Chains A and B, each alone.
Chain A
Amino acid sequence: MEAAIVILGVLITVCACGVVFSRQSLHSALWLVAVLFLAGAYFAVLDAGFLAVVQVLIYAGAIVILMVFVIMLLGADAGAVKSVFRLPAYLGGALGGMLAGVLIVFALSGAKVELAPVKGSGLGGGTAEELGRELFGRYLFAFETIGVLLFAALLGAVILAAEQKRPLTPGRGLRAVQEVRKAEIKENVD
């Protein structure tokens, strides 16, 4: 287990660097897919099998596809960013230095880093059933809330992204939602 984790950890880090430092957005997207897959694997190793699946499904399957889709949509224009990095290196260095300084002073200040004590015997792992029980028991209200959230995001994304051709008429907004929902509903968690 340790070995797997170490390998996954190193790989994830490398891929994340790839996301951050790639010149092309498409390359970044591909590196992101790799990160997400590796993270899924990592979840699986950490006894969170259901999450691993969901991670791959949602992230790799939906989010990244969406991004790639947008990259394609924007096409050549997206490449016309004047330079890759927004900040001069020294600013990044200064920030890094500040962070390091803060961390060092923190370390010297005598504060401890301490995790909470372990409560009970480790759970067997996040199987779909266990997680489902939690979600529909204790976290039912949260689950409902996330539904509202997704609904709101959907509604918003549609009205923001839809091309505006016709003048505003009553009832037009929801129809657009319905159209888009048919196309995208499969990609969402239900």
Chain B
Amino acid sequence: MIGFQPSDLAQLSPFLVLTAAAVVMLLAELFHVFRLRLLFGISGTAAAWLFLLRNARPQDAAFRGMIFLDGQSLVFGSIILAALMISLLLGDKQHAAQGVTSGVEVEVLQILSAVGALVMVSTANLLMLFLGFELMSLCVYILTGLARKERASAEGALKYFILGSFSSAFLLYGVVLIYGACGSLQLAEISSRVPADNLLILTALGLFIFGFGFKVSLAPFHVWTPDVYQGAPAAITAFMAAVVKIAAFGAFARVLFGAFLPLASSWIKLLWVLSVLTMLIGNLAALRQQSVKRMLAYSSIAHAGYVAIGLVSGVQGSGYASSAFYLLVYSFMTLGAFGAVLAAQAGSDAQYDRDKIDSLAGLGWSAPFIGVVLSISLLSLAGLPPLGGFFAKFFVFRTAMESGYTGLVIIAALNSVLGLYYYLRIMVVMYFGRSHEVRTVSAPKVPAASCVGLAAAGFLVLYLGISAGHWLEVLGNTLRW
């Protein structure tokens, strides 16, 4: 009974490598090779990605369907690993300044969380999905609270934990209902057995939307997001905003398209409303925020709404691919934005003060590099061409048009104007102050790794804009495996 084939091992390799990297990092700390931890983290992540790339096969399942390294896992897994890598780079040597009082555990927990995320997007079994979900979530709860001396950090962790556990309990109950109605935990089997008018299934669908909606912060399940993003140390916020959201969206999409496709007419309308609500609430609430991280949190909520448009139109059109592309670009631009904020905060002391938008005054002049990366990220988030964010929106809008959701596109387009306002507000602070009027922040000392991370994020945002069509096609083809 026990026994797996070597091919199973190949399928497992990304997870094993990544976990091994985490363990090695811990051991490295134990043996005081503290300096090398970044090297281990990055190389482990890179190795995991290489294994993922090598071993991903069309419709290849290991462990009797517990793990799929198929196109979807390859796409979302790659984004997750890339985001992980950048966020490791960004956070290097910055954690202490953020009030994080532990050693290598921050990186280890990020990697383990990424393992959970990877599991989430590469399984077709609800049990594995839930396990990955919990692994990722628990790590992120802890990460949020790591700045233990900061009240905000602990508060954020508590909120995230209670609300997150609550929502995952609902998700779990949804799994129960599905198990009850279909007698299986495999998505493919569920899809083939799903009865159209079974109350259990419909309720389960609702609970799934609740659970995943919470993780990707679709309104009204988004309420935790601003508090947690604001409370968490900036490096962790960047990680959360990128990895957690990608994984949750990846898994959500897999469940929606893998299991609930026969019920599409039920959830499309609902997702339509949720996406409109999410964009509106996210963008409107961000308008007058004074805290950078909170503003970016609301912005990330709004972006979830845009991604959801892709899911809405994914049933008929190529929305899945455009959503994936959106997530790809989104992860880099949000990493760039949070990473730049993180780098800018390196100089100042108190968390509350440095969290204010005004604390970025004159940053564009005193630290041109950070300013440029932040500007690129913000402009891309705002959807200005030729950056990646523009084409991400473009593709999402296009697929929505193809599926006939013109109204949704118009709402989304007008929402972008709101978005433009608050993104530009940050640039106002960064650049528009007269040098004699504002207290320009002194140029923060940014570690080299962080610079590399920022440069990578900025470059990728730009590159993905210029070669957007190519990557959309690549993603589309890969997802169709």
Contact = CB atoms under 8 A, between A and B. Distances in A.
A139 B103 contact: no
A140 B8 CA distance: 11
Interface in A145-190: 145-146, 148-149, 151-153, 155-157, 159-160, 164, 168-175
Interface range on chain B: under 10, 10 to 19, 20 to 34, or 35 or more?
35 or more
Interface in B39-65: 62-64
A141 interface: yes
Contacts, number: 138
B181 A173 contact: no
Contacts of A148: 19, 112, 115-116, 135
Interface of A: 106, 110-119, 133, 136-142, 145-146, 148-149, 151-153, 155-157, 159-160, 164, 168-175
Nearest to A171: B29
Contacts of B31: 171
A136 B113 CA distance: 24
A145 B128 contact: yes
Given A112-B199, A145-B119, A149-B134, A159 B102 contact: yes
B54 to A, nearest CB: 19
B202 interface: yes
B131 A145 contact: yes
Interface of B: 1-4, 12, 15, 19, 26, 29-32, 34, 62-64, 66-67, 96, 101-105, 108-109, 112-113, 115-116, 119, 127-128, 131-132, 134-135, 138-139, 141-143, 145-146, 148-149, 157, 180-184, 193, 195, 197-200, 202-203
8 contacts: A115-B180, A142-B66, A145-B132, A149-B138, A151-B112, A155-B105, A171-B31, A171-B34
B30 A149 contact: no
B104 A173 contact: yes
Contact of B30 (A118, A133, A174): A174
Nearest to A117: B183
Given A168-B96, A171-B29, A152 B103 contact: no
Contacts of B62: 141
Contacts of A110: 197
Contact of B200 (A113, A140, A168, A173): A113
Contact of B29 (A115, A133, A170): A170
A163 to B, nearest CB: 10
A112 B197 contact: yes
Nearest to B139: A152
